[in-house]
Structure formats: C-alpha cells, structure tokens
Amino acid sequence: MPRYNPQSIEPKWQKVWLDQKTFRTPGLDTLDRSKPKAYILDMFPYPSGAGLHVGHPEGYTATDIVSRYKRMRGFNVLHPMGWDAFGLPAEQYALRTGTHPSITTKTNVDTFRRQIQSLGLSYDWDREVDTTDPSYYRWTQWIFSKLYETWYDPAIRKGRPISQLEIPSGVLAQGDKAVAEFVGSKRLAYTAEVSVNWCEAMKAVLANEEVTGEGRSVEGNHPVVKRPLKQWMLRIPLYAERLIEDLELVDWPDAIKEMQRNWIGKSHGAEVDFQVCGSSDKIRVYTTRPDTLFGATYMVLAPEHALVAQITTPAQLAEVKAYQEQAARKSDLERTDLAKGKSGVWTGAKAVNPVNGEQIPVWISDYVLATYGTGAIMAVPAHDSRDWEFAKTFDLPIIRVLDGGKPDECWEEDGPHINSSNGEISLDGLGLTDAVEKITAFLAAKGAGEPKVNYRLRDWLFSRQRYWGEPFPLIHWEDGTISLVHDSELPVRLPEMERFEPSGTGESPLANATDWLNVTDPVTGKKGRRETNTMPQWAGSCWYYIRYIDPRNAQTLIDNELAKYWLPVDLYVGGAEHAVLHLLYSRFWHKVLFDLGVVEHAEPFHKLYNQGMILAFAYEDARKATVQSSLVEERDGGWFHKETGEKLNQIVAKMSKTLGNVVTPDEVVASHGADAMRLYLMFMGPLDRAKPWQSNGIEGVHRFLSRVWRLLVDEDAENLVLKPLANTESVELERLRHQTILKVQEDIEGMRFNTAISQLMVYVNGLFEALPATPGAAAGVPGVAAETLVQLLSPFAPHLADELWSLLGRSSTLAYHPWPVGEPSKAEEDSVEIALQVNGKLRDNAKVSKSATKEELLALAKANAKVQKFLEGQVIVKEIVVPGKIVNIVAKPA
C-alpha cells in the first residue's frame, strides 16, 4: 500500500519547516560568527499577476541545493527571498482593472509566496522584504538622500559627504545662489532639464538602458521619442573607472563582465582645439585617432552644439536653423538608423587644422551625438567609414594619411603614416601607436590639445512620472531652494490615491495629491511642494541584498557587524537579462555606500551565475508557420497536424501562450511533486544552458524517486515501514558509496547538478543490483548505504529525504545533519580497464591491476592475440604506455 506519494509527504514537511522555522538564520544576538558563512541569493522576482513560471524555480532550486548542502557542511547560511514589487506593470494592470496597485501587489505576492513554498525551498521567511513596504523604502529614500549629499572627489577617487566639499572663494563671493549651484554641480544626484526618452504609450520617461537599439521601450516595445523634461539624474559616470577595474575582483561569467565593459565604453583618445576663422571661438573635438589629424578635411558639430549659433554665417542661417529643428523632432531611432544616408548642413564657417593650417569647413549633422565626447568631431574621411560616407555624399575632399587598403575605399586599420608632416613634426612611416603618442605630445606642447579618456556611460536618469514607485524625500520651497526631508521624518509615504493615471504632460500623478503635496516649514512658515516624481523600479532592487542581512532594523540601514560578517553575497543566481541594468546600478550604489562606510566590501556579489532559459518544444509546418501544440500528435516517429495530417517539424522555442507549450510549476507539483520538479530541472542539463522542457523527462526522475522509495520502503506492508536493512556492506558497495559522496559534493560545489544526479542514479542502480535475487531473502540494503543515500539526496529532493530519514528512525530534519564523509582512498578502484591500441586504433581492452608497471602493461599488450594479429608483418616503431589509460604500439610494414 504505502507507495511513493509526494502529494502527501511534501505538504507535511513544508508545514514542519515553516512551523518550526527550520531555516531561520540567527540574528546578531545568537549568531555564531566563528563559523564560516555562505550568503546565497536569488534575484528576487517581480510578482506579476501571471504567477511563477518554470524559469523561476530553475535558479531557485540551484541555490536551494547549494544552501542545503552548505548547512550540512556546517556553514551559517543566509538564504532569503523577497519581492521587487514597485513598477509599471502593476500600475498598468491597476489602471485597466480599477484595482489599487497595493491590493494587486499583495495578492500577487501571496500567490508567489505560496508557489515558492510549495517547492520546498529553504528560505528564511522571517527576512522577507518587499520594496513597496514603507519600512523598506524608508531606506531606499535614505540612500537617495546620501546620493544627494555626496560628491565625488577625483583626487582620492572616492565619494565624500557634501559637507566636506571646499567651495572656491570666487564662488563664495557671488552669494548663496552661486554656492548652491556649485554644490549642485557636484552632487551625485542632481536635477536638470534634459532631453529624455519619452514613451507616449507608457506616458513615462525611460532610462537609456530601458530603450532598445531600435528606439523602442524594452518593456512592451512601444515607440520612444526625445523630449525635454526636468529630471533627476545620478552621476554614475564618475564611478565608471572603478566599475571597470573592480570587475577584476569578482567571479562572474566573462560574457557578463564583457557586456558591462562594453556598456561603460571606455576609450582613450585626445581632445584637440580648432580655431574658428575670423572668430575668437575654438571648437574642441574628441578623437580616438589623433594620428590621422593631417587627414582631417572638415569638421562636424552635433546640431545641438552650443557654438552652432555663434559661428553660423548669415547666408547659412536659415538652412542651419531648419536642420536643427528637423533633428530635434526626430526620435533616436530616426537619427541613428544605420540604413539611412548621411545628412547635414554647412554652417558657412571654417576652422583651422592646427597641424597643417588648412582652412576646413564646419558642418552640422545628426550623425554626431551631442552627448558623447565634446559633441564635435574632426572628420577624417579616408580613415573613418562614417566620415567617408558623409564626404562622398557632400563631395568633400579626402586625404589619405595611412598607407593601406584599396584606393577608393576607407581604411580604418593600422599602417605606416603618409602625408603627415609639417615643419615641426612628421608622423610619416610611423605605425598607429607611435604616431598617436607623438602627435598627442606635440599638441600638448603647443597647447592645442591633450590626452583624454572618454566613457560611453551617461548620467543615469533616475525619475519617473508615475504613481507606483518610491517618492523622493525632497521639498521644493517657494524661494527656489530644495531641501531633503530629514532622516527622522522618513519614510515619505506614497499617498493613498483614488486616481493615479499619468497626466501625459510629464507631470507625475502625485501632483494631484493635494494634501500630501503642500508643506509648510513649521519654523519659518515657508511654503513648499514635495517632489512629485517617483523613483524607477531599479531603486529598490539596487540594495535589497543588504537589507536581507538586517531586515527589521529600524535604527540603521544595516548593523555594521552584520554587514561585515555576511557581505559580500557569495553566490548570486539569476537571468542574464540583468547583465547591465540591475547589476551595474547595484554595483554603483554599493560603491557609494562603501565610500560612506556603510559596507566594507568594494563589490556586492562575489560569484554570479546566470541560469539558462527553460524553453519548450514547438512545431512548425513546411511554411515555417508554428502550430498550436494541442493540434499536434506524435506517431511513426514523427509529428503530424491532427486536422490536416501534415508532417510537422519539431523546433525549440520560448514558452508562450500562442504556441500552447507553457508549463507551470503548479501543474508539475500537482502531477509529479516538488521533489520531481526540482530534480528534473537540475537533471535537464548544465544550469547555464538554455534547454527545452520535456514532459517525458519529469516522468523519468519521478520514476527514479519511486525507485529510491521502493529500495527502502516495504510497499507490500500495510503500514509505512522500512524494509529490513543489512548490517554489512560489500567492498564494492563501500567503494561505490565513497565514490558517490565525493562525486556529488564536487559537482554541487561546481554547480554541475546534472552529473551529481546521474551519480545518485548510478548508486541506486548499484544498490538494486546488489540486492538478493529472491525477495524476502535475509539481507536488504546495507544500513550505512541507506543513510548515506538519503543524506546525499536531501539537497535535491528534501521532502523525500526527510520522510525517509524519519523512517530510518531519526527524529529531526536532515537540514543540519553533517554531510557524509567520502574518503578518496576508499573510493579508489583496485583494477582498471585499459585500452590496447595499435597505431592509435583500439584493438582490445584489458582489465589490469592499478599498480601494474609500464613494462607489465607493454608485455600484456604484446601477448594479446588481437594485438598480435595487427602486428603481424610489422616492425614496431614506438611504444607508448600511459598507466591506467592505454598502451599504444606504433608499427609500420617491415
């Protein structure tokens, strides 16, 4: 009767773990800090209305296995879960349904928590955080206050309190307003009228990182246009250098590090001044190829460049103005579309090339970006493809200064310089590196330029005109000053509002919360208005890993001692889609907090691991049109359309409603149990690889768990009882046991869960084989084997393991039971099978003693009949013996 029944044992153990707080991590008072620690973190989810999908449990299971394993190895483990619950989708859903986002958020969180708990994950639920909880966002606001009150000191490469900023006497002399302006120009958080990415469909501003290369929103793929708005910005580029350097300190996938480096986009070059003819104005350009300066035949300014108005000649004014207006109206998409040709207008002005005195025309064009470098370039058409295209379009002169490539093609590679000399300097004959060095020194000496490092990374646009986000702790006073809400008055709560639609004007919905909006200074009677923008969703997720360590601390963000002990996060698992956004922002905030002494480590996440996406099979017909999975049947080793009978191809695709191939965790838990689901997710393949869900696969692991159950439990008995266990273990089983312990622990440490599980299967197969042929015969599975198997299985299938553990007569959970000891000496085989080769081809195998010498192996090979057959009529040329592996005899015809 008592068959393996996950539906009854899983809820039972989940209740025990929850009720007894089995996975509670001690707080400061009871924490034994002499023990090693493991902070194992999942990227917390956005609790959407759709509930958990199978991708979530993949990463969660992996971290859960590591957490459970580390506990058994005697580590203090911190393994928390929480909710990234602010954000646009909740607000949009609320607007559609008329339900307040705080209500839908609560419902969704409850669903997510129930689903996650049904997977048996060993989270400490006492540490749950929710970014929308005022007691949480109080500290998000606090961190913003710190950003506002911090400036970056380039001399010591650190963020410092604004109180330590020295005000130049010249600024002091100009009065309070000038001082405020000066300080504002140094704060890490500042407000500015900027051209922003405005998404009409979302009625909100987006950060650069939230806009795709096609000029559409990452969320929802809506069109995005440029529009000037007053916004809060964060000066993340000041930390660019450290954000690049400190990638050396962390153990992250190379691909992610590379993406961050690319995003920060450091480049070395020089700034060069060009004198405008007939004017005192100079145009400063940034170039990474100062060595090509002799080939500069014209210049281009961004249409928004400040000098355009001053240098444009009256004759060109109308045309220039028209072009500027046209450019301003274009979206980034239209401006950067590579398919379109180059456009531009001559300003009428000329400037002097500082190395050869040539007067060259100054153009404006939208292919030059106002926001990068100086917003102006020197154009070297012979050696830059963009300049080449522009010069060809407008018939501008092209001078080659590098020897290489075909005569009528642009050459962007290295080569000996030509046509590059004047009376004072010559680059002719030099290669790229030498030429750059020489010309840069020359320009510096003449005061016409200097070496310069540039970053692609821009200031982070940090405000949104939405309701469902953290309010800024700021007040705009009637006298034009801005002040922070005092720490003691935090949090600034998000007001309860009935209507919170975005206005569409760029004004946040909070502007309508009249009672909340207006404030009066109790001391001076001065009137003010709260900041009505809210923070972007990234704000809450930037620092949640810190709060988990000390989640209920009402006095400070985090206790210093706890921060010292638990940080950094030892293992951080999540999807690769956060490669630049969340992970870059988080590192930036962490560095600011590091500079302020809140945390003691330069980097927040030591080891990062990206789980691959769970895909699913889908079907398409000969025209490559996809077919709903419900209309597909499998027969005769192929797939066919149920209605038309057409033969279909199996493909791998993302799970989607349209393909009808979505699998939800709830249905898998219901049909096969959480343990089977966990095991299958890990058995599918390497964690970091994308792989398709196969319903047959889950059957397979379920069968394995049933086999384990049957190995130990007497299914014929009326009640739940163990089969009789044997007292002694054969030499072979002992060896297999030690091999299994060692393999499983190595594989868990290396995050190779699929091969750990196969080893467990090998062990179970071995135990079955060793059972007496006749059922009921005296000895069953050796007791030590039974206990070890259950222990090794427990990180993977914790419900089954705890159930069997209690059947084995142990009263408490396995969660903190010491991991079994695997001894390499006992795992070693005493004989090995080696390959006998002739000329590199396998001819026979031989079982030999592990200690056999080279001579013995060679003699054995030569005595082998099959080997001899292939040596007939041959002369031996060479003999290679690798003990424990192969003997290879090289021979050639006599």
The DSSP output letter for 616 is E
Judged by CB under 7 A, does residue 35 bind RNA?
A: no
Among 179, 369, 432, 596, binds RNA (CB under 7 A): 369
Among 842, 859, 863, 876, binds RNA (CB under 7 A): 842
Give me the residues paired with residue 842 across strands: 837
Distance between CA atoms of residues 851 and 254, nearest Å: 42
- Which of residues 623 and 841 has its CB atom nearest to RNA in the complex? 841
As measured in angstroms, the least distance from the Cβ of 768 to RNA is 5
Distance between CA atoms of residues 892 and 894, nearest Å: 6
Short-list 460, 481, 591, CA closest to 184? 481
Binding positions for RNA, 775-834, rule CB under 7 A: 832-834
CB contact burial 363-388 (16+ within 10 A = b; e otherwise): bbbbbbebebbbbbbbbbbbbbebbb
Q: Which one of 36-44, 524-532, 716-724, 763-771 is the stretch in contact with RNA (CB under 7 A)?
A: 763-771
As measured in angstroms, the least distance from the Cβ of 846 to RNA is 9
Residue showing tokens 């044992």:
9
Radius of gyration of the chain measured on its C-alpha atoms: 35
Among 576, 767, 781, 852, binds RNA (CB under 7 A): 576
Please check whether residue 244 is in contact with residue 264, taking contact to mean a CB–CB distance below 8 angstroms.
yes
As measured in angstroms, the least distance from the Cβ of 285 to RNA is 7
Binding positions for RNA, 484-523, rule CB under 7 A: none
Short-list 418, 405, 417, 310, CA closest to 364? 310
Binding positions for RNA, 864-883, rule CB under 7 A: 866, 869, 878, 880, 882
Please check whether residue 389 is in contact with residue 341, taking contact to mean a CB–CB distance below 8 angstroms.
yes
As measured in angstroms, the least distance from the Cβ of 7 to RNA is 17
Q: Which one of 465-473, 572-580, 728-736, 776-784 is the stretch in contact with RNA (CB under 7 A)?
A: 572-580
Please check whether residue 370 is in contact with residue 302, taking contact to mean a CB–CB distance below 8 angstroms.
yes
Q: What is the chain's percent helix, strand, coil content, to nearest 5?
A: 40, 20, 40
- Which of residues 168 and 840 has its CB atom nearest to RNA in the complex? 840
Please check whether residue 434 is in contact with residue 241, taking contact to mean a CB–CB distance below 8 angstroms.
no
Among 602, 835, 858, 860, binds RNA (CB under 7 A): 835
Distance between CA atoms of residues 209 and 755, nearest Å: 38
Contact flags string 98-137 toward RNA, x per CB under 7 A = ----------------------------------------
Three-state secondary structure readout of 113-147? HHHHHCCCCCCCHHHCEECCCHHHHHHHHHHHHHH
Among 377, 708, 751, 792, binds RNA (CB under 7 A): 377
Residue 686: asked if its preceding bond is cis (omega within 30°), the reply is no
As measured in angstroms, the least distance from the Cβ of 841 to RNA is 6
Residue showing tokens 């379009």:
393
- Which of residues 455 and 468 has its CB atom nearest to RNA in the complex? 455
Distance between CA atoms of residues 894 and 876, nearest Å: 9
- Which of residues 262 and 658 has its CB atom nearest to RNA in the complex? 262
Among 64, 124, 366, 570, binds RNA (CB under 7 A): 366
Please check whether residue 247 is in contact with residue 462, taking contact to mean a CB–CB distance below 8 angstroms.
no
Short-list 809, 797, 782, CA closest to 709? 797
Judged by CB under 7 A, does residue 757 bind RNA?
A: yes
Helical ranges in 713-852 per DSSP H: 731-749, 753-770, 783-793, 798-807, 824-827
What is the side-by-side order of every strand in the sheet holding 831-838? 841-849, 831-838, 886-893, 874-882
- Which of residues 73 and 866 has its CB atom nearest to RNA in the complex? 866
Among 752, 810, 817, 826, binds RNA (CB under 7 A): 752
Distance between CA atoms of residues 894 and 640, nearest Å: 60
Judged by CB under 7 A, does residue 692 bind RNA?
A: yes
Judged by CB under 7 A, does residue 584 bind RNA?
A: no
As measured in angstroms, the least distance from the Cβ of 287 to RNA is 3
- Which of residues 40 and 378 has its CB atom nearest to RNA in the complex? 378
Distance between CA atoms of residues 285 and 378, nearest Å: 6
- Which of residues 486 and 847 has its CB atom nearest to RNA in the complex? 847
Binding positions for RNA, 212-271, rule CB under 7 A: 213, 254-255, 258-259, 262-263, 265, 267, 269
Judged by CB under 7 A, does residue 860 bind RNA?
A: no
Among 580, 662, 725, 807, binds RNA (CB under 7 A): 580
As measured in angstroms, the least distance from the Cβ of 771 to RNA is 9
Among 130, 384, 459, 675, binds RNA (CB under 7 A): 384
Judged by CB under 7 A, does residue 545 bind RNA?
A: no
- Which of residues 28 and 882 has its CB atom nearest to RNA in the complex? 882
Q: Which one of 77-85, 383-391, 442-450, 518-526 is the stretch in contact with RNA (CB under 7 A)?
A: 383-391
Judged by CB under 7 A, does residue 307 bind RNA?
A: no
Residues in Cβ contact with 320 at an 8 Å cutoff, skipping those fewer than 6 apart: 308, 312, 345, 347, 364
- Which of residues 663 and 835 has its CB atom nearest to RNA in the complex? 835
Judged by CB under 7 A, does residue 765 bind RNA?
A: yes
As measured in angstroms, the least distance from the Cβ of 649 to RNA is 12
Q: How many residues bind RNA (CB under 7 A)?
A: 87
Please check whether residue 741 is in contact with residue 821, taking contact to mean a CB–CB distance below 8 angstroms.
yes
As measured in angstroms, the least distance from the Cβ of 503 to RNA is 30
As measured in angstroms, the least distance from the Cβ of 479 to RNA is 38
As measured in angstroms, the least distance from the Cβ of 395 to RNA is 18
Judged by CB under 7 A, does residue 451 bind RNA?
A: no
Between the two ends of the chain, the Cα-to-Cα distance in Å is 72
- Ranges of beta strands (E only) in 428-526 are 449-454, 460-461, 474-477, 482-484, 518-520
Among 316, 553, 626, 754, binds RNA (CB under 7 A): 754
Judged by CB under 7 A, does residue 2 bind RNA?
A: no
Residues in Cβ contact with 192 at an 8 Å cutoff, skipping those fewer than 6 apart: 230, 231, 233
Judged by CB under 7 A, does residue 625 bind RNA?
A: no
Judged by CB under 7 A, does residue 405 bind RNA?
A: no
Distance between CA atoms of residues 438 and 440, nearest Å: 6
Distance between CA atoms of residues 557 and 551, nearest Å: 8
Binding positions for RNA, 627-686, rule CB under 7 A: 683-686
As measured in angstroms, the least distance from the Cβ of 764 to RNA is 7
Binding positions for RNA, 50-89, rule CB under 7 A: none
Half-sphere exposure in the Cβ direction for 568 (13 Å, CA): 19
Judged by CB under 7 A, does residue 328 bind RNA?
A: no
- Which of residues 283 and 815 has its CB atom nearest to RNA in the complex? 283
- Which of residues 177 and 703 has its CB atom nearest to RNA in the complex? 703
